[in-house]
Amino acid sequence: MRLFLASTSPARLATLNAAGIEPLAIAPGVDEEAAVAEREQRDGPLAPADMVQLLARLKAEAVVRDVEDALAAMRGTADGADGADGGRLSPGAADGSGYPAGSDSAARSAGADADTSGDALIFGGDSAFAFGGTIYGKPHLPERARERWLAYRGHDGVGGVGVLHSGHWLIALRDGRVVDAVGEHSQAEVHFSGDLTEAEIDAYVATGEPLKVAGAFTIDGRGAAFIDRVVGDPSTVIGLSIPLLRRLAGRLGVAWPELWNRA
C-alpha cells in the first residue's frame, strides 16, 4: 500500500521516514489564507481545531487528481509502458535523495517497490499553534518570530504554555479511485523554558529555523533546547501524529505494517 503525502514539509517527511514509510510527496498548492477567509466569511471565526482540519482536508483533496494519474502511470510502467506523474510527484526521502519532481523516473521508482494495484492512501496535514488566545502560523519574518519567543519565555522565570493543533485527513483509493476518507484532530501542550535569554532568542531566530514552521518553533531541531516538556504525542508537535495516522489507516481498512516500505 503506497502512501502519498500532500505536503513538502521536511519535518513530516522525516517523521514518516523514521516510522518506516517513504511516501511520495506532492505539493498541494492550496491558498491557505484564502480558504480560511472564505470559510470564516460564511461560518464565522474558526476554532484552531476546525481550521487545521479544514486545511488538512483541502490539501489532501487538492492532490487526488495527481495521485490518480500517478497510480495509472505505475500500472502502465508495470505493463512496460511509459507513464507520467502529473508533474509534481517526488519520492519522499527526508534526506533529499531520489528523483526530481516531475520526472517519469519518479513513477518508475514508485512502481519498483511492487505496489501497482492502484490502492493507496493520501495524507493531508496542517498545524497551528495557539498561545495566549492567538493562533500562530508560520512567522516568515524574523521580527515576528522574535516577538513570539519573547512572549513564550513568560515572566519571572516561568515559561509560557501553548497548544499545538494538528489536523489530519486521510483519503483511501482502491483500483485508482477514491472510495473513502477519514479525519481527526490532535493536540499537544508545549511548555517553554522560562529562563530563556534574549541573546538565545536572537541566535535562534538568526538560524532561520523558526521562520517557516507553525508557532515559530521546533522540537526536533535547535528549538528543542528551549522547550521544557510536551504533554501529549510529540509527533503531533512535529506536524503529524503517527499514532493517530495508524488509527485512521485502520479505520480505512489498512493495517499499519502495509505502509512500511523503507529499509
User: Which active-site residues does the annotation give?
Assistant: 126
What CA–CA distance (Å, rounded) separates 110 from 70? Answer: 9
Nearest residue to 196 via CA among 225, 153, 158, 162: 153
What CA–CA distance (Å, rounded) separates 101 from 198? Answer: 41
Give backbone dihedrals phi and psi of 28, rounded to 5 degrees, phi first. -75, -25
What CA–CA distance (Å, rounded) separates 3 from 25? Answer: 9
Give backbone dihedrals phi and psi of 23, rounded to 5 degrees, phi first. -80, 170
Q: Which three cell numbers stand for residue 189?
A: 501542550
What CA–CA distance (Å, rounded) separates 127 from 48? Answer: 9
Give backbone dihedrals phi and psi of 138, rounded to 5 degrees, phi first. -80, 135
**Strand residue runs (E) in 54-136:** 89-91, 120-131, 134-136
Q: Which three cell numbers stand for residue 55?
A: 486545511
Residue type, 48: P
Helices 48-62 + 32-43 axis angle, to 10: 130
Judge whether 28 and 7 are in contact, CB under 8 Å.
Answer: yes
